[in-house]
A and B are shown apart, each in its own frame.
Chain A
Amino acid sequence: MNVKSLSRRHRARPDLIQVPPWVRETFDSYLVCEFTTVKSGKPVTLPLLPFYLPDSGKFVVTSSILFSKKAENVRQNPKVSLLFSNPEGSKAGKHAVLVQGIAHADDSDLDHGWEKYLGYWRKKEPYIDAYLTEREKFGWFWKRIVVQVEPKKILAWKNGDTSRPPEVFGA
């Protein structure tokens, strides 16, 4: 690791899992992640739009009630993972980063609770406002559960080379 990377890491909050800049760029830039919940001991993995919250170090995905099984799984078993493996549509390099964490599903305000993440959403899907203007048409799509994930361990394969062991952070 070079000096620049180290100094950036040391400026960050000490209570957060510290990762090098290329990992952070992956979190910020990749448009989709592969989000896994566990149902009756069986993994269920689906592509989702993730948001990384730099102030808390947490991740957020939101889920329409139409596709709410993942939120129900989280309530049964909060252990989840997010894999960032697909750089398509981003300007970031190709890496693979796995985040394992504890998830909490919040459906206390299905109509507006997710709106605080619209800025992150807009950055990744700039056309989202066009869908929002048709909010009535897709009524239940916009009833959304917020799933927040607190990372416990991060495993990262630079250049996406999973034939080698990953760098591990936060273990």
Chain B
Amino acid sequence: MTNLDYHRLGNFRYAIITLVGDDGFPFSVSTDFKIMPDKKIVLQKPAQPSKLDGKRVNVLFNHITGLPGGGYGDRRYMLVWGTTHEDHGTLRFEPETVSEWDEKILPFDQYCAKSAPQGAKYLGRLQASVEA
């Protein structure tokens, strides 16, 4: 596992576990988590899904701060893919890859600029489908 900043991860309040169910629909559930001194991530086991041992999941850690006049700021998230293992009534999460954004690290306008290639790609594909 690379690039996972455990210090910043520890600032999130809760976690959201998501996996793809047998019916093909994504299933997300919120739960508490803690980071152990040896950097193991331990998730509280939700009632559902009932079987999470050895499951490939993603875990989203998301934060916003509500603003007094409405809306929100201080946006940040970490989306971590990995595997869950049942362990004494809890879930041990083994992270593998991470994708994240924190607007205090990468301000929104810079995030948009960085994402311009994705926008160009989308427009290019759209144009090609119109011309086809």
Contacts and interface: CB of A to CB of B under 8 A. Distances in A.
Interface residues on A, range: 35 or more
A56 interface: no
Interface residues on B, range: 35 or more
B112 A140 contact: yes
Given A65-B123, A86-B64, A162 B29 contact: yes
B118 A66 contact: yes
Dominant SS among interface residues on chain A:
mixed
A166 interface: yes
A16 interface: no
Given A31-B72, A34-B28, A89 B65 contact: yes
Interface of B: 14, 16, 18-20, 24-31, 44-48, 56-58, 60, 62, 64-67, 69-72, 75, 77, 79, 81, 109, 112, 115-116, 118-119, 122-123, 126
What 10 pairs between A and B have smallest CB-CB spacing? A89-B66, A36-B26, A83-B28, A66-B115, A85-B30, A81-B26, A162-B46, A125-B71, A100-B25, A126-B70
